[in-house]
Each structure stands twice: as C-alpha cells, then as structure tokens.
Amino acid sequence: MEELTQPAGEAQGGGLVPGLYVVSTPIGNLGDMTQRAVAVLRAVDLIACEDTRHSGLLLQHFHIRNRLTSYHEYNKVSRTPELIEQLRQGRRIAVITDAGTPGISDPGFYLIRAAVRAGLAVFPVPGASALLAGLVISGLPSDRFAFEGFLPKRDGRRRKRLAALKAEERTTVYCESARRVKRLLEEMLELWGDRDVVVCRELTKRFEETLRGKTTDVLAQIGDRELKGETVVVVAGAREEEDEGSDETART
C-alpha cells in the first residue's frame, strides 16, 4: 500500500516537488472535483488555465487562493517558453483546462510536450474526462477505441477524414458542438451507412441527455430541435457492424 500513502509529486514530509501538474477539473458537476486536485491547486506556485475568469470561479468555489496565468490556443507559442523556464527554476506549475482533463483536444498538450522534451517532471492528477464518460456509458465496445476529437470544420477536410475512417474497426469517439452534431451524423450516415451511435450531451450537467440507436434513429430523435452545449459522439466500428449483420443473417 506504499504507493497509496506516498502519491507521486509529493516530497517526503509533505509539499509538492517541482514539476508540471496536469490537473483534471469537473466537466460540469462540481462534485466530481477530487480532493487531490484541490490540494494540488492550493499548493502549486502557479496555475496555467485557458480562461482566468472561468477558472477563477472554480477556484473560488473550492476556496482556493492562488495565482492564475492565461494559457490558451492564441498565446501558447509565446507563453510556453516562459512557463518552461519557470519549471527549470524549480517552480511547481499546474495546468488545467476549462473542463475535464488537460492535453486532450486543448492547448495543454503543447506545454506538456515541451516539459517532457526539456526533461522536466510531469505528474498526472486524474479526474473527469468527457470522452471517457461518454465511451463507458455508450454500451459500445471499449476494449479498443480511437479518439478523433474535433473533426475539421471545413466541409472538404471533414468529409475526407470521415471517408478515411470508414473502415476503422474500433469504436470511435468524437467531440462536437451540439449545434453541429446533426450535420456530423448526416455525413456519417451518407459515408458509412446506418451504424450504432450514441450522442451524449451536457454530460454530468443539469440537462444531461443521451441519445442511442442507429444513426437514422438518433437523427429522428433530434428532429428539428436546436441542441445546445457540447456533445460526445460514440460510433460503432466497421467490424462491429459486420458482426451484427452476420448475427442477424444467422438468426434468419
């Protein structure tokens, strides 16, 4: 049980050792914040976050007083060397995203990669993850899966990527804005056929919703509704569809 009593990143006698702490935060329900995440965010010297106002509210809720610095898509190139230099000087820095786990479809990846390349210590502080939450409640095979994140917004590039994924046998997971998810499903139906799909919207939040069925079924459930929020879309792989088709043939 020694691994549980002396967490990684903690020095003997308490306190945090120098390094970059990749801290997960809730994706909607504040009850999903871990005790360790709160402790780390209190103890580090600096917290790098996408939106200081948004993260400031999170810290306020958990009575955390600490210094925030912005780190987002538009300043990552200039800010990364500054933070790496601070880490080299022995600072303890946490990186958080607006919601969920940093480094997955967000600029935290660039800071993490830079720290690794510089030979600096990087510690995970695990917690909520929208992609894993959607995957595990989907009911689709999760022993092997591929995460595609956000597909390109430009029509040609997005359709080209979808065409390349048509033969993917693993379950695939996507992030998409709720207002664009209908278009995505329509393109998947056109290019891939009618597969099993699960759309998870506003996970862990008040208006959480999960739509399941064939692509045509889910499109019918959406209908003319204007969905809001963020979604995780989980789609059965090509092999899964073939196996189901074989089972149906055998029964008939």
Looking at the chain, the whole-number percentage of residues with pLDDT higher than 90 is 88
Do residues 174 and 181 touch, judged by C-beta distance below 8 A?
no
pLDDT band at 249 (very low <50, low <70, confident <90, very high): very low
pTM to 2 decimal places: 0.88
pLDDT single digits (tens) 32-72 = 999 999 999 999 999 999 999 999 999 999 999 999 999 99
pLDDT, residue 11, reads 63
Do residues 171 and 140 touch, judged by C-beta distance below 8 A?
yes
pLDDT, residue 239, reads 75
CA–CA distance from 241 to each of 11, 110, 197 (Å)? 51, 36, 11
> Six-digit token pair at 194?
């009618």
pLDDT single digits (tens) 123-143 = 999 999 999 999 999 999 999
* CATH number for the domain running over 130-247: 3.30.950.10
pLDDT at 252 over 70: no
CATH number 3.40.190.10 is the correct assignment for the domain at 2-125: no
Question: Which residue carries 């278009």 as its tokens?
Answer: 183
User: Measured in Å, how far apart are the chain's first and last C-alpha atoms?
Assistant: 54
Looking at the chain, the whole-number percentage of residues with pLDDT higher than 70 is 89
Average pLDDT over residues 16-27: 97
Whole-number Å distance between alpha carbons of 150 and 161: 11
pLDDT at 213 over 60: yes
pLDDT band at 13 (very low <50, low <70, confident <90, very high): low
Residue 16: how many CB atoms within 10 A of its CB? Answer: 19
Domain boundaries, the chain: 2-125, 130-247
pLDDT, residue 105, reads 86
CA–CA distance from 128 to each of 28, 115, 132, 145, 244 (Å)? 9, 23, 8, 18, 32
pLDDT band at 205 (very low <50, low <70, confident <90, very high): very high
pLDDT single digits (tens) 146-182 = 999 999 999 999 999 999 999 999 999 999 999 999 9
Whole-number Å distance between alpha carbons of 77 and 196: 40
pLDDT at 1 over 50: no
User: What is the residue-averaged pLDDT of the chain?
Assistant: 92
pLDDT at 7 over 90: no
pLDDT, residue 240, reads 66
Whole-number Å distance between alpha carbons of 117 and 100: 24
Whole-number Å distance between alpha carbons of 211 and 218: 6
Whole-number Å distance between alpha carbons of 17 and 44: 9
